[in-house]
A and B are shown apart, each in its own frame.
Chain A
Amino acid sequence: MSELSNNYFVSVAEIAAKLDQATRIAQQLSLTASNARAVALRAGERAAGFRPLTDFIDRLAEITIKSSRKINKLAATLSQTSADKVRADSAIAHFKVVFVKAKDSEFISSLDEVHQRSLTRQAKLDCSYRRQIDRLSDELEMLSSELRNAVILATLSRVEASQAGTQYQDALINVADNVEGAASKIKEHIYYSQQMVSTLEEY
C-alpha cells in the first residue's frame, strides 16, 4: 500500500484508481456466482441448500459493481473539482503577488473585479469539493456495510458445501473461499479509500 499523498488532487486520483480495482474484483465475484450456480446444478439434490446462496452471491456482486461504479464516478468528479480548485487557488495566489508588486499602480483596482470573481469561483469549488467528499464518504460506508454480508454468505456456503458430498464439496468450498477473498480485497480497497477521504476532509 502506497503512502498517502500530500497533494489532495493526487489523493483523489489515487482513490479513483483504488476503486477501479474494486470494480474489477467485483466483476470476478460475478463470475464466481455463475460458476457456483453451475456446480450446484450438477450436484443436484445434494446441493439444494446451496442454490439459493448463489442468488445472494450474485446480488452481492451486482450491488458491489453498481456501488463501485457509482463511487468511481463520484471520485472522478471529485478529481476534476480538485484540479479546478488547484487552478483557482493558483490564480488567486498569483493575483495576491500582483497586488503586492504593483500596489502603487494607478490601475491596480482594475483587477478587483476579476479577483473577486476568482474568489467567488474558489468558494463555489470549495463548497462542491466538500459536498462531493461527503457523498463519497457515505457511499464508501454503505458499500462497506454491504460487504459485511459476504462473511456470513461465505460461512453459510461452507456449511452447505459440507452437505454436497465429496464430489462437489471442494468446488463449493472454493466458491465460498472466492466470495470471502473477493470481499476482503474489496474491503481493503475501501478501507484505504476511506482513510484517504478522511485526509481530504482536512483541506
Chain B
Amino acid sequence: MKTHKLFENNSHTWLMFGRDDEKPEQIIDTNQYIVISNKNALLMDPGGIELFSAMLSAVIKQLPADKITHLFASHQDPDIISSLGLWDQALPSATLHSPWIWESFIKHFGMNNISYAAIPDEGSSLKIDQVTLDFIPAHYLHSSGNFNVYDKEAKILMSGDIGAALETVDAPLFVEDFDEHIDKMKMFHQRWMPSNEAKNDWVKRVRKLDIEMMCPQHGRIFKGDNVKRFLDWFEALEVGLITKAKAKE
C-alpha cells in the first residue's frame, strides 16, 4: 500500500493511503485518508477487513497507533468500515464518528471498545488539537446517511464515494485530463447515486466551500480547476437511472 502526503502545515498533515497492489484481486481498490495533528489523528474510511493488515502496517510507519484517537466512517458499506472489529482491538480508546442512522448497523462489524459518536443529519464539527474538521452532509450520495469531511485550512474535501472512479491499482493519484476521466466515473455515479435532488443539494452546498483538493474513496483526486469541472459535470449528470430504465419496460 502506498502513502502519499497531500498537505502539511504547522498544525497538521493529510496523508492518503491506497493503490494496494497486494490486495486480493476481487475487491475494489480504496483510498484511505488520515489527518494527523499535534497529539491526535483522524483516520477516515479505514476500509474493509481484507485491507486491515496492509492499512495498519502503512499507518504504523507514519505515527504510533495510540495517536489515532478518532475514526470516521462516511457510511456503512463493507469497503468503508468492515475492518471495525479489528480496529476495535487495535485502538480500544478511539471514537468512531459516523451517521446516526447507521449506529446499530455498523456495530454488527464488532465494536466492544471503541465509542460511537453519532453525527446528526445536519452535520457537525470535530476539533482535534488546533484543527477543525467539518462533517458535511452528503446524504443519498450514495448512502442514505452519508458525510464528507472538509478541512477549511487545508482546503481539502474528503468526498467519500462522490467523485469515485473504478480503476486499476496502478492508476495515477490525480486526475490529469478531466474529459478523459469521465468514462471511468460516469456509470458509478449514475448507478450508485439514487437522487438528482440530493445530488444538486450537495453541489449547491459544496460550491460555497473553498476547495483545492477533492479526495474520493476510490480512484483519483481532483485538484484545482478539476474540482469545479467535477461539480459542473456532476450537476448536469442525471443519476438514479436504473429506476427510470425499469419504469420504461
Query: Which A residues contact B (CB, under 8 angstroms)?
Result: 87-88, 90-91, 94-95, 97-98, 101-102, 105, 107-108, 110-111, 113-114, 117-118
**Which A residues lie within 8 Å of B92 (CB)?**
114, 117
For the complex, give the distance between the alpha carbons of A102 and B57 in Å: 5
Query: Which B residues contact A (CB, under 8 angstroms)?
Result: 52-54, 56-58, 60-67, 85-86, 89-92, 110
For the complex, give the distance between the alpha carbons of A105 and B65 in Å: 11
In the complex, the number of residue pairs spanning A and B with C-beta atoms less than 8 Å apart equals 54
Q: Knowing A97-B53, A101-B54, A117-B92 touch, does A111 contact B85 (C-beta < 8 A)? A: no
Nearest B residue to A105 via CB reads B61
| A-side interface mostly | helix
Min C-beta distance of B35 to chain A, whole Å: 17
Q: Knowing A87-B85, A94-B52, A94-B53 touch, does A110 contact B110 (C-beta < 8 A)? A: no
The 4 A-B residue pairs whose C-beta atoms are closest, nearest first, are A110-B64, A101-B57, A97-B53, A107-B64
Q: Knowing A87-B110, A114-B90, A114-B92 touch, does A97 contact B63 (C-beta < 8 A)? A: no
| B-side interface mostly | helix
Min C-beta distance of A40 to chain B, whole Å: 54
**Which B residues lie within 8 Å of A110 (CB)?**
60, 64-67
Nearest A residue to B110 via CB reads A87
Please determine whether B57 and A111 come into contact, CB atoms closer than 8 angstroms: no
Please determine whether A98 and B86 come into contact, CB atoms closer than 8 angstroms: no
Q: Knowing A94-B53, A110-B65, A111-B65 touch, does A118 contact B89 (C-beta < 8 A)? A: yes
**Which B residues lie within 8 Å of A101 (CB)?**
53-54, 57
